[in-house]
Amino acid sequence: MRILIQEPKSPWEIVHIDWVTSLPPGGDRSYNACLVLVKRYSNAPMFLPCHKDDTAMDTAIMIWNKVISYTGLFQNIISYRDPKFT
């Protein structure tokens, strides 16, 4: 089912999120995945290192601490039905 999405009027109004997983471990915390946020307004991506086994709560806390605390709340988040959110 397709849903028509309005064009955003500000940069952080609508955000697409998805994960890149099964990466080789890296960084001081051995990250093996990356959460990708893309602003629909400008198509500018933001990459947040994470772990493949992070839960929905871990992801929400990471987005809150690393993005929303600086940008304000998003109006819409578009996810591609990742099992983490079911």
Structural domain contains residue 57: yes
Q: Can you tell me the distance from the alpha carbon of 34 to that of 26, in angstroms, rounded to the nearest whole number?
A: 11
* Residue 72, phi then psi, degrees to nearest 5: 95, 170
pTM, full prediction: 0.80
- Is position 51 within any domain? yes
> 23 lies in which domain range?
16-80
What pLDDT score does 78 carry?
Answer: 87
Condensed to tens digits (0 to 9), the pLDDT of residues 58-83 reads 999 999 999 999 988 998 888 876 67
Coil, strand, or helix at residue 5?
coil
Neighbours of 63 (CB within 10 A): 19
Secondary structure element (H or E) that encloses residue 58, with its range: helix 56-63
Residue 9 has a pLDDT of 86
Q: State the CATH number of the domain containing residue 67.
A: 3.30.420.10
In a domain, residue 8? The reply is: no
Distances (CA, A) of 12 to 32, 34, 53: 26, 19, 27
**Residue 69 within any structural domain of the chain:** yes
Q: Is residue 31 part of a domain?
A: yes
pLDDT band (50, 70, 90) for residue 1: low
Write out pLDDT tens, residues 17-71.
999 988 999 888 899 999 999 999 999 999 999 999 999 899 999 999 999 999 8
Domain count, the chain: 1
